[in-house]
Chain A
Amino acid sequence: MATKKNQLNSLMMKTYENSTEAIFFFDIEGKAIAINPAAEKIVDPEVLKQLLQGAEQALCQSCRGYTSDTDLHTCLNCYLSSSHPDDFSSFQVYLETKDKGVVPYTATFHTVDFENGVRVFMLRNMTKQFKTQERLYQNRMMKHVIEAQENERKRISRELHDGVAQELLSALVDIRGMKYMPSKEEILKKMKQTEVTMTRLLDDIRNLSVELRPAALDDLGLEAAFRSHFKRIEKSYGLSVEFRSDISKKRYGSEIETVVYRVCQEALLNAIKYAQVEVVKVFLFEEGNTLQLIVQDEGIGFKLVDKPLGTGLGLFGMRERSEIVYGDFDVTSGISKGTRVRLKVPVGDLRKEG
């Protein structure tokens, strides 16, 4: 029995010395009694010294908050001083490390010596799991993006094949037939019909080209491109867009213009598809070195956490695009409270345009 205990003791000591997990023992007053080598490796030497001296809130200098039910990083109801220590059997905490910056850890904090109130605080590095998780998520999203791209190509290809090629063929047949027509009257009639076909064909091609990328965006800038886009929306979907802008003909970098245009396009399409409204408001303005876009409807709204009715890729894409131009993107919505999408992009002197 005694040998077994001895063996365990020595194993525990080895675990303490060689574990990759950081282990801290705190006495009842919150003073660190012992800190293992793994812990010494991550904590700043100055903080380490204070911890051992029991300086109040020494750990706070390194701690960047833990993840609670409501927040990603919080100090509210701190695990060190919490009156419900049971809640901290396993949680996530962020620490400023000696040489690797802020790192996420899985932590446990609980009492091991009830008589003397000694508690142990253990940390396991989570960076790797985080990275794997993130990569998985990105993989999944990437697949969605590729699929969406492929679908878009299919649509364009079909439109070219069924629309453009078809109409062109029918015009060609008409023209061929004209050669054999006996009367001038018949030829004139046929020509009139061919003219109709060609005009429609021209329209189709124009529409297709604008959908791919509006020339107005490159030639005339955001405001003009928006105006013609909204006109098309009103014509095709019977939804009116109340547009207010104070940027006039001002130009921004083409990257910024593209992002703002696409985000607006997506947000507007969402309103058409889901909001059940007749009017959508769009605002475009500058405020203190940022260009802001707001797309707002007073429709049925949705809960951000709910499963999307469609793919859910739209909002993801908007956020991704915003990040390219260091933009700040947010969505607010609630059941029967309407939806507001806002994008803030830094512009002006701070960033080089072009």
Chain B
Amino acid sequence: MTTNKDEYQLEIELIRSTTGCDLIAVALVDNAENQFELKWKYASGNLNNRFKQIVLQSGRGVAGIVFKTGKPLLLESISESVENENLFNYPILTFEKLESIGALPLWHEGRVAGVLLGGFREDRMMTEKLLHHMLEMIEQGIGNLDGKEWVLVDGYKEKPIEFLNDENV
């Protein structure tokens, strides 16, 4: 039997090899001691594990923003869109020396349950097209998450994807 852990790891390895990303990481909500902590849980291509120690606050940092808004985030050029003195608010970018990233909400039963991040250590490598491609790969869910954004009884409604960009950072 494959465990949850193996499943996530296998899936993100696959996403990394198909997209060519330098780093793929998954942040999930940790249900520890009745505190719902968001943390980077799985990674492929990471330089070290320092970023896994960080507890992400909703609405702050890459994962926090995507988690809270439920919208994809695209930063094609970090050096252009994030001011140097604000970079410390995005530890994963500095710790992993990322220059270009995209992040997607991971849905489960109509709620955001986690965040998927794809990043490059080179400028302008992450594009809208590539992010769409990543989105297609996780539409059926990832790990034990079902990927369902809508669970309404009145039926499924296609929703245009809104991208977050620099202005929301």
Instruction: Write the residues of chain A forming the contact surface with B, with a CB cutoff of 8 angstroms.
Output: 159, 162-163, 166, 189, 193, 196, 199-200, 203-204, 207, 234-238, 272-274, 278, 309-310
Contacts and interface: CB of A to CB of B under 8 A. Distances in A.
B127 interface: no
Contact of B36 (A200, A234, A237): A200
Contacts of B111: 193
Contacts of A309: 84-85
Contacts of B60: 236
A207 B55 CA distance: 13
Given A196-B36, A199-B35, A238-B50, A272 B58 contact: no
Given A235-B54, A278-B50, A309-B85, 17 more contacts: A189-B109, A193-B111, A196-B36, A203-B36, A203-B58, A204-B58, A235-B53, A236-B55, A237-B91, A238-B50, A238-B51, A238-B53, A238-B54, A272-B88, A273-B88, A274-B85, A310-B85
Contacts of A189: 109
A237 B88 contact: yes
Nearest to B60: A236
B34 A199 contact: yes
A338 to B, nearest CB: 18
Contacts of B85: 273-274, 309-310
Contact of B95 (A204, A238, A273): A238
A306 B47 CA distance: 33
A274 B60 CA distance: 19
A162 B59 contact: yes
Nearest to B86: A273
Contacts of A237: 54, 88, 91
Contact of B58 (A163, A234, A273, A274): A163
B19 interface: no
A200 B34 CA distance: 10
A235 B58 contact: no
A199 B33 CA distance: 11
A163 B67 CA distance: 12
A201 to B, nearest CB: 9
B9 interface: no
9 contacts: A193-B111, A196-B29, A200-B36, A203-B58, A204-B59, A235-B53, A237-B88, A238-B51, A238-B54
Nearest to A272: B88
A234 B53 CA distance: 8
A203 B87 CA distance: 24
B46 interface: no
Interface in B83-102: 84-85, 87-88, 91, 95
A203 B59 contact: no
Nearest to A203: B35
B53 A200 contact: no
Interface string B24-50: 000001000011100000000000001
Interface string B53-88: 111011110000000100000000000000011011
Nearest to A201: B58
A203 B50 CA distance: 23
A236 B57 contact: yes
Nearest to A163: B59
Nearest to A278: B50
Given A238-B95, A310-B85, A199 B54 contact: no
Contacts of A238: 50-51, 53-54, 91, 95
A346 to B, nearest CB: 34
Nearest to B91: A238
Nearest to B39: A235
Nearest to A311: B85
B33 to A, nearest CB: 11
